[in-house]
Amino acid sequence: MFEAAAILILIAVFLVLYRAVKGPTIYDRVLAVNVIGTKTVVLLAIIGFISARPHFLDIALVYALINFIATIAILKYMDTGGLD
Amino acid sequence: MAIDILLLLILVIIAIAAIHMKDLLACGVLLGGYSLIMAVLWTNLNAVDVAFTEASVGAGITTVLLIAAISRTKRREDDPSPFRHKVQMSIIVLASTAVFVFALLDAPNFGDPNAPANQHVAPRYIHESSHETGVLNMVTAVLASYRGYDTLGETTVIFTAGMCLVMLLRRKNE
């Protein structure tokens, strides 16, 4: 049951990966990688339940918290041409 | 099992795409996604703290450092190298791949309990680490207690590298 859910989410990652690789603008890729990060959070929770260790949920929460750092850096670079 | 194969497939696709891309900013973004998938793979292998490091350093800090480097240099990769260089590089890569495959033929099977790596100190870690260190996760016990000095050395190296990066990326006229 949980494995089926995990495989479905991985198939969704493949769909988003097409946009991340294909492209055309940088914003498509940023959004795609951000969605991959969100799917990673769900995937971690599911893997925790597959291996019967539900405290992986905490790790999934921390991932959700650090997911946005790279996105903010990229958007700041696109906005001002630097990170200062 | 199917989950592992799908995760590894995603890794290979992202790696090839990042090599072929000419826009270095897009490469940095893709490598952030690579680190996220890699972190899931580590978690699936029960190495939770390695997964933590991978996600925070790989997807967070490394992407920011790459963008900082791009903003100090330029965003486009140079034109491809001439055909002669490509041939030379292909020969070197194929030769080293052949050497690695030849070396792998002698390696023990994956997960073989009689392999030398599983006979040396692994039984002691499995039996003793819980009450010798008080840490429940075996990987964490090895990293932070048995190999504490190694980890301290690694931290020193990473700190030095971070200091060098700050010196390199700092603006001159400030």
ipTM of the modeled complex: 0.86
Name B151's Cβ contacts closer than 8 Å, sequence gap at least 6: B143, B144
Q: How many domains does chain B have?
A: 3
Last residue of a domain, one of B64, B79, B94: B79
- Return averaged pLDDT per consecutive 10 residues of chain B, 174 residues in all: 86 89 84 88 83 81 84 76 84 95 85 77 80 80 84 92 83 60
Same domain, residue pair B70 and B1? yes
How far apart, in whole angstroms, are the C-alpha atoms of residue B112 and residue B94?
Answer: 29
Q: Which of B2, B26, B39 is closest, CB to CB, to A29?
A: B26
* The two three-digit tokens of residue A57, written as one number: 């949920």
Q: Give the pLDDT of residue B171.
A: 66
How far apart, in whole angstroms, are the C-alpha atoms of residue B42 and residue B36?
Answer: 10
pTM over 0.90: no
Q: Which of B36, B61, B68 is closest, CB to CB, to A37?
A: B36
Chain B residue at shortest CA distance from A53: B46
Same domain, residue pair B148 and B170? yes
Same domain, residue pair B23 and B54? yes
Same domain, residue pair B20 and B69? yes
Q: Across the interface, do A33 and B29 touch by the CB < 8 Å criterion?
A: yes
B101: containing domain: 83-117
Same domain, residue pair B75 and B12? yes
For chain A, which ranges sit under pLDDT 70?
Answer: 84
Q: Give the pLDDT of residue B172.
A: 63
